[in-house]
Structure 1
Amino acid sequence: MFSRKFQSCAQLMLATVMMSFVATAPARAQQATAKLPNVVILATGGTIAGSGADSTTTVGYTSATVGVERLIAAVPELKKVANVKGEQVFQIASESMTNAHWLTLAKRINVLLASQDVDGVVITHGTDTIEETAYFLNLTVKSNKPVVVVGAMRPSTAISADGPINLYNAVMLAGSKEAVGKGVLVALNDQINAAREVTKTNTSTTDTFKSTELGMLGYIQGSKPYFYRQSTRKHTLESEFDISKLDSLPQVDIVYGYANMNRIGMDAFIAAGAKGIIHAGVGDGSVAAQMKPALVEARQKGVLIVRSSRVGQGIVARNGEANDDELDSVVSDTLSPQKARILLMLALTKTNSTQEIQRIFYTY
């Protein structure tokens, strides 16, 4: 009899424990979910949202056909690393990205990151101008929370499409503590690069994004970021640029250097209203003899000139291949022509002083 009572008590205790476990299971699951970071994906189009005629189409596909909800649904593993929400900001191929798009995107990111409910932001983007958008955001986002720009070299319909793993890595990175304060990041091919230094180096391969001279920031492996260095130039919270009240940016254009170049392009840009010109010279930003009068006349009209280089690596030396003091021009430091254009646009919203703009180029 004692044995039967003991057995009955044991069964009752077990039943009570099981009922308690079942009752608290939803709460525990909710608590576990709440511990995940909250990441917002802002979709802008590009190859990562592209589609081809068949699974072997990796060129000649159509960009920007897949919406953000389908992108998220295609990577169910995202739920393991973050609480994800998506917004379709634009649906364009990135070669069509404009200053207006940048201003809209930066303002939306600043609103999102100001919320305590958002821990990081991912931007899906076409690869053609991903480095430019990333650098613009690097200078205009006002938060130390992670911002990761991601894309793909193969459309979503292709065999071995790289978009899903790139998106997974980007969301994981945007929700990580390791990425806090690192500035805007570009993450593709299991590699992490700084917005300031990264560039597209190949037309079609998946390892196209590199910081060829200064080096990548780190790797992504096993759902974890590994950082080995960081950019020393000011960005995000330390940036002096405020775009919150801007509806447009000054017109800045790029004149490309080559043998036998002429001033036709520069004159046309200035006639069309350019406030600044990036002179993408040969070598160390050299200025051809026939171009010097055009630069002098441009300055007389109040147009700001920045000497950059088409080479892609190295510092453009002030008063090196041209007398910048005499020309009253600015040098781009290590910035590529396309990134120098971005910095000059933002600098011109603050000042027209060549001395002050030169300080800005040595700061960012």
Structure 2
Amino acid sequence: MVSVRGLPILAAILGVASVMPVFSHAEGASAPLAAHQQVSLPRVLVLATGGTISGKADTRSAIGYDAGAVTGEQLIAGVPGVEKLAQLQVEQISNIASQNMNSQVWFKLAERIRRAFAHNEADAVVITHGTDTMEETAFFLDNVIADARPVILTGAMRPSTAISADGPANMYEAVKVAADPQARGRGVMVVLNDEVQSARGVSKMHTTALQTFHSPNLGPVGYVDPASVRFMTPAKPQQHLALPADHKLPRVQIVYAHADMDAQQIDDAVKGGARGIVVAGMGDGNVSTDALAGIERATKAGVVVVRSTRVGNGFVNRDVEVDDDHYGLVASMDLNPQKARILLQLLLANGKTTAAEIQKAFSAGF
């Protein structure tokens, strides 16, 4: 348990007279709940990374704001009743806008979660995160955290100072899902706006709407409100990959397909040292004849090429309009380009280099 510092700052931000701590130091401070009640509550480690949920308004426009202006402790202090759900420990991993999210923060998160579970510090983890890259962080962690205990990501579409800010409700529901025994064995999940989404399925689908997160191919795995958590699908086995010891991921480029496409971006990626290329293809992962010739040059040079799609829904199937077997390509199945890039990076880092073994990993579960 930790103390909440900086409460006058949060009070000033929120425009209220005072903000009461929702939890206290374990050593000597008076607990908000009876001792026997606190012992029975699950222990949830909250790892804050910044994002809109930790933002405050800026005057540059009607909806302008600065991400990462509020700490994780201040954020938790503004969520009424969350102390009744779990014993909370808050740590600040970073405080950045999610467009600046990077693999080094991913490694910090993964190692802190692994350590917390290995040392039995927590029964679950909640990560506060910006929405722009939340699906990528969730998917990365889902592939490297081999533990049944829940890891939940949450965030907000409106900053903490906005009218009808959605952060407090999302935070409350994320902790509620994390503390629920049904959440075990389901991998990393994303909780926003009363829905629970899988890391593999979820995507940000709208620039500004509160209901921005959807799982277009898989659907939500559950629903949550202040009274209940309901899962719609059973837990199923997850594949996990080793975390690279050197904290480095191979260079994988995303190339976006379009009308009148040539092979220049593909050739440039190969010259730039890419070990993999993900093509955000048209339709079912299709590219022009010129681009396909560039892809063939790339695969002959030892670069792994994955066909994904720029379309928001649907699977990329093998050997439909493109002869994947002939060109040695990988079909991304349900994974969008940004997730296909992460999986390919992790597979390459784990020594998986042939199209056949990489396709097996992409097709796992289907």
Q: TM-score, normalization: structure 2? A: 0.87
> Any conservation in 2 of the 1:107–1:244 contact (CA below 8 Å)?
no
Match of 2:93 among 89, 106, 115: 89
Aligned match of 1:186: 190
Matches within 5 A, 1:298-317: 298-317=298-317
> Any conservation in 1 of the 2:173–2:226 contact (CA below 8 Å)?
no
More helix by share: 1
The separation in 1 between residues aligned to 2:104 and 2:276, in whole angstroms, is 18
How big is each residue's C-alpha offset from its partner over 1:91-116, in whole Å with a ceiling of 9 and x where there is no partner? 11111111222122111111112232
The separation in 2 between residues aligned to 1:58 and 1:33, in whole angstroms, is 43
Amino acid at match of 1:272: G
The separation in 2 between residues aligned to 1:104 and 1:221, in whole angstroms, is 31
Q: Secondary structure in 2 aligned to 1:86?
A: strand
Deviation at 1:341, TM superposition (A): 0.6
How big is each residue's C-alpha offset from its partner over 1:246-278, in whole Å with a ceiling of 9 and x where there is no partner? 410111111011111122222222222111000
The separation in 1 between residues aligned to 2:53 and 2:169, in whole angstroms, is 11
Aligned match of 2:199: 195
Amino acid at match of 1:335: L
Matches within 5 A, 1:136-175: 136-175=140-179
Amino acid at match of 2:110: A
> Any conservation in 2 of the 1:44–1:89 contact (CA below 8 Å)?
yes
Aligned match of 1:18: none
The separation in 2 between residues aligned to 1:352 and 1:299, in whole angstroms, is 11
Deviation at 1:363, TM superposition (A): 1.2
Deviation at 1:58, TM superposition (A): 6.4
Matches within 5 A, 1:238-253: 238-239=239-240, 241-243=241-243, 245-253=245-253
Distance 1:186-1:253 versus aligned 2 partners, 3 A rule: same
Aligned match of 2:40: 35
> Any conservation in 2 of the 1:166–1:189 contact (CA below 8 Å)?
yes
Deviation at 1:59, TM superposition (A): 2.4
How big is each residue's C-alpha offset from its partner over 1:125-167, in whole Å with a ceiling of 9 and x where there is no partner? 0000101110111101121100000010000000110000100
Q: Secondary structure in 1 aligned to 2:90?
A: strand
Between the aligned residues of both structures, percent identity stands at: 43
Aligned match of 2:26: none
Deviation at 1:57, TM superposition (A): 6.9
Query: Which stretches in structure 2 are left out of the alignment for 5+ residues?
Result: 1-29
Q: Calculate the aligned-residue CA RMSD, in Å.
A: 1.8
Q: Secondary structure in 2 aligned to 1:259?
A: coil
Deviation at 1:296, TM superposition (A): 1.0
Matched, 1:98 2:96: no
Deviation at 1:87, TM superposition (A): 0.6
> Any conservation in 2 of the 1:42–1:121 contact (CA below 8 Å)?
yes
Deviation at 1:244, TM superposition (A): 5.8
Amino acid at match of 2:300: Q
**Number of aligned residues:** 334
Matches within 5 A, 1:1-364: 29-53=34-58, 59-230=63-234, 232=236, 234-235=237-238, 238-239=239-240, 241-243=241-243, 245-349=245-349, 350-363=351-364
Amino acid at match of 1:353: T
Q: Secondary structure in 2 aligned to 1:178?
A: helix
Query: Which stretches in structure 1 are left out of the alignment for 5+ residues?
Result: 1-24
Distance 1:195-1:216 versus aligned 2 partners, 3 A rule: same
The separation in 1 between residues aligned to 2:67 and 2:251, in whole angstroms, is 27
Deviation at 1:292, TM superposition (A): 1.5
Distance 1:231-1:288 versus aligned 2 partners, 3 A rule: farther
Aligned match of 2:14: none
Amino acid at match of 1:37: P
Amino acid at match of 1:209: F
Q: Secondary structure in 1 aligned to 2:359?
A: helix
Q: Secondary structure in 2 aligned to 1:95?
A: helix
> Any conservation in 2 of the 1:48–1:124 contact (CA below 8 Å)?
yes
Amino acid at match of 2:39: A
Q: Secondary structure in 2 aligned to 1:296?
A: helix
Kindly report structure 1 stretches of 4+ aligned residues shifted beyond 3 Å: none
The separation in 2 between residues aligned to 1:265 and 1:223, in whole angstroms, is 51
The separation in 2 between residues aligned to 1:101 and 1:353, in whole angstroms, is 29
> Any conservation in 1 of the 2:216–2:312 contact (CA below 8 Å)?
no
Q: TM-score, normalization: structure 1? A: 0.88
Deviation at 1:117, TM superposition (A): 3.2
Amino acid at match of 1:35: S
> Any conservation in 2 of the 1:172–1:223 contact (CA below 8 Å)?
no
> Any conservation in 2 of the 1:284–1:317 contact (CA below 8 Å)?
yes
> Any conservation in 1 of the 2:263–2:292 contact (CA below 8 Å)?
no
